[in-house]
Amino acid sequence: MTNGAGDDDDGDSAHANMPLLLGSVNAPGGSGDSEDDDDHNGSVIVGGVDSAGAAGDRRRRAVRQRRPWYRRLSSSTGGEAKAPRFLDRRGLFKQSRGSFNMRRIIPRAAVASLHMRDWFHTLLTMSSLKIGLVLLVIYVSAVLLWAGLYHLISEPCDLQLHTFEDAFMLSIETLTTIGYGVPSPYFNGCLAGPFVVLSQSAAGLFIDALCIGLIFARISRGNRRSFTIVFSNNAIIRQIGNNWYFLFQVCDLKKYALVEAHVRMYAIRHRTVSSGGRAVPRSSGPARTISSSSSPPLDPTHVWFQSHAMRLTHPNDELGGMLLLSLPDQVLHRIDAWSPLMPTPHDGSEHDPSTSFQFPEPLMRVVDVENGGREPKSKRAPAVTTKEQIIEKFKRDNIEVLCLVEGIDAATSYTVQARHSYTIDDVVFEQQFAPCVQQDATGECVLDLSRFHDLLPLCEDDTAEDQVSSVL
């Protein structure tokens, strides 16, 4: 259920060298407009845009602008261009419906044969309306095809089908097996008659199997199960001891939770590439608007929507990041030198000590250069990270933290993936989640999900051990 590398399919050199602007200004359209099509995939625009598609582009833009999570690139504080969310937050109970704000530009010739080879899943991922229309076209086409065959063999087989309407009715009766009568049940000794009936009966079985399979797979698909995996509305950044932590909580609403549930986190950010080829954080600039009617212009100075994996402290990702979703479980990420949320380090050195030196300094080892000096203490990362530095990092890089919870549904054995995201607008500092689990008079565990999104201020008298025990 996760999206694969197929998002980067390119057909020519121009597309091959162009970074995909994932969700720059466009929301999923087309089949994503219906409720049944929210299957964790964005829309796919195949081929280029010509004059015939101008009206459709205007309609799609109008639909996107009516959506609450759509925001055009506009200048924020300091004139910085701010992109919309990469993952929507328009579900019930303050959840995400799992739809990526993404527009794919894929040449038609590059993907047509691939879709034909995987025709079943291509049909399965369409909207329910499109699936119904495709099945209707297949059914009517089969009736018309065999109606023509019956009309063709009517005279030699003595079927007495004087008009095409008579042949059409006979084709419907045969395909639906509702029973009918003909002047001669043995087709007056005609060999073509039984073979035509047999071929239509076999085709009817195939069409019925296809309809039942698509409808069953559509109803029982695993992404609907992900709607009952709930994430906290806010993420918390708080200091425990000398370290800062990013944390949120997640729980399963179902009585029978996912089996082998585990969690992963990614940071999506944007960067500007300097003339020397080194990536630096994206700086503020004038407001920009990108037209959705054509491919975005190639901008070699920006790296958009770059993903970075985030290590987990709890549950320990070295142990698989396993979760027990029957109870609210808090997920912690430590903001350290290896974290993409760490404020940008400052390097005061103006030369490379591993290749040149300034008197009386000798040459340094490469490992010491990477550490910022010969001392054990690194000079590249800030010694103390402050709340203001973290907020500045989030805003400067437009960071959005994606949280993915995966597991196996015990009832259907389908793999389920629930998605959620947090931006700086969803983050609170120095708070804690209200306890959702209590014990009644009989000692039974009571889970109150009405408090799931509630936050409480930290107690100033808590020791470091108390702070750790409150989240682990």
pLDDT attached to residue 400:
93
Does pTM surpass 0.85? no
How far apart CA 429 and CA 237 sit, in angstroms, is: 5
- Where is pLDDT greater, at 436 or 67? 436
Helices (H), 10-118: 13-16, 54-65, 108-117
pLDDT attached to residue 433:
94
- Where is pLDDT greater, at 81 or 410? 410
pLDDT attached to residue 90:
79
Per-residue confidence at 353, pLDDT binned at 50, 70, 90?
A: low
DSSP for 91-143, please give it. SGGG-----B--EEEE-HHHHHHHHHHTHHHHHHTS-HHHHHHHHHHHHHHHH
Q: Does the pLDDT of residue 428 top 80, yes or no?
A: yes
172 and 143 in contact (C-beta within 8 Å)?
A: yes
Query: What DSSP state is assigned to residue 87?
Result: B
Residue spans of the domains in the chain: they are: 129-220, 346-380
Q: Does the pLDDT of residue 125 top 90, yes or no?
A: no
DSSP for 328-371, please give it. -EEEEEEESTT-TTSPPP-----S-TTT---TTPPP--HHHHHH
pLDDT in tens, 187-227: 666 768 778 888 888 888 889 898 998 888 887 777 778 88
pLDDT attached to residue 29:
39
Mean pLDDT of 155-178: 84
Residue written as token pair 């419907």: 172
Look at residue 14 and give its three-state secondary structure: helix
pLDDT in tens, 71-101: 443 333 344 445 677 787 878 887 887 777 7
Q: Does the pLDDT of residue 363 top 80, yes or no?
A: no
pLDDT attached to residue 456:
94
Q: What is the mean pLDDT of the chain?
A: 73
| C-alpha 343: how far from chain center | 27
85 and 176 in contact (C-beta within 8 Å)?
A: no
pLDDT attached to residue 461:
63
pLDDT in tens, 240-290: 888 899 999 999 888 888 999 999 999 998 876 655 545 555 544 444 444
Assign domain 129-220 to its CATH architecture: Orthogonal Bundle (1.10)
